[in-house]
Amino acid sequence: MKTSFGTVALIGKYKSPEVSGPLLKLAQFLEQRKVKVLIDRLTGAQIGDAPYPVLPLEELGKQADLAIVIGGDGTMLNIARTLAPYDVALVGVNQGRLGFLTDISVDTMFDTIGAILEGKFVAEDRMLLAGEVWSGAGKVAEGLAFNDVVVSKGARGNMIEFEVRIDGQFIYNQRADGLIVASPTGSTAYALSTGGPIVHPSLSVMALVPVSPHTLSNRPIVISSSCTVEIIVRGDSDPRVHFDSHSHHGLRDGDRVVARRFPRPLSLLHPAGHSYYDMLREKLNWNRE
């Protein structure tokens, strides 16, 4: 991760006109600090004429030292997948309730981002998942996931059948509504609602969480991120695979979904004093001292 931020990319929530005001004010704030400002092309289309270079996300990844995302956790997930191959840190600003990933308020963003530019921040490396779909000997789809790779039932609503292998070793056959392969970040998303464990983001692991399994003996399992997970679909019950619920692909009998750790982590920057446990306590309404 780069630790000096001479070039900053600004990215707003897609099709959200209310982002324009805070984003332009932030751009002016950065410019006053002698920081070069770049704006995402889709964001630029929303705010109209602005005196800053407007570039595609991939080009921002190549040029920026830091990307500031104004939106919610969903926006951050979308941006993270695209910028993951580049050495650019991300900061999340939320206009509404603070999220798991976007933990800076619009009301405090100038002070907080000013401090980040001065090197006062907490950095977290977050792992992503790389997913592939194989049909026979050919790869037919692939995608990155910040939260999870999910094999699930389709429109028919029937349970699906699948076999699970880890590093080529048979683990079990299962009938269920699906199976979630979650990163530590994704452990507080879909996996949490299905009874999976909360995994600290500093851990390099994956969680396999069954969705409504037909037998109660099938429980979540946490494995090393160095493992390769293989899910082999059985039957024709209309299953599909989702990558962060962002993209999906239909599956047929014998298709294999492969999930493994993406080789490059993504760096998230938080305000100084950030605590993962404080965030959990607030978001999950745990009792305070």
Task: Domain ranges for the chain, please list them.
Answer: 7-127+265-283, 129-261
- Domain 129-261, architecture per CATH: Sandwich (2.60)
Q: Nearest-CA neighbor of 124 among 184, 205, 81?
A: 184
Give the residue numbers annotated as catalytic, written as ranges.
73
Superfamily (CATH) of domain 7-127+265-283 = Probable inorganic polyphosphate/atp-NAD kinase; domain 1 (3.40.50.10330)
Note the pLDDT of residue 238: 85
Round to whole Å and give the CA distance between 288 and 275. 14
pLDDT of residue 1: 58
Residue 234 to residues 76, 122, 172, 205, 238, Cα–Cα distance (Å): 34, 45, 13, 27, 10
Residues in the chain: 289
pTM of the model: 0.93
Q: Are 103 and 94 in contact (CB under 8 A)?
A: yes
Judge whether 31 and 8 are in contact, CB under 8 Å.
Answer: no
Provide the pLDDT for residue 215.
86
Rounded CA separation 101/32 (Å):
27
Residue 112: its H or E element? helix 109-117
Identical fold for domains 7-127+265-283 and 129-261, yes or no, is: no
pLDDT (tens, 9 = 90+) of the chain, 289 residues, equals 556 899 999 999 988 888 889 999 999 999 999 999 999 999 988 887 778 999 999 999 999 999 999 998 989 999 999 999 998 999 999 987 778 899 899 999 999 999 999 999 999 999 999 999 999 889 999 999 999 999 999 877 789 999 999 999 999 999 999 999 999 999 999 999 999 999 999 999 999 999 999 988 889 999 999 999 999 999 878 899 999 977 889 999 999 999 999 999 999 999 999 999 999 998 888 876 5
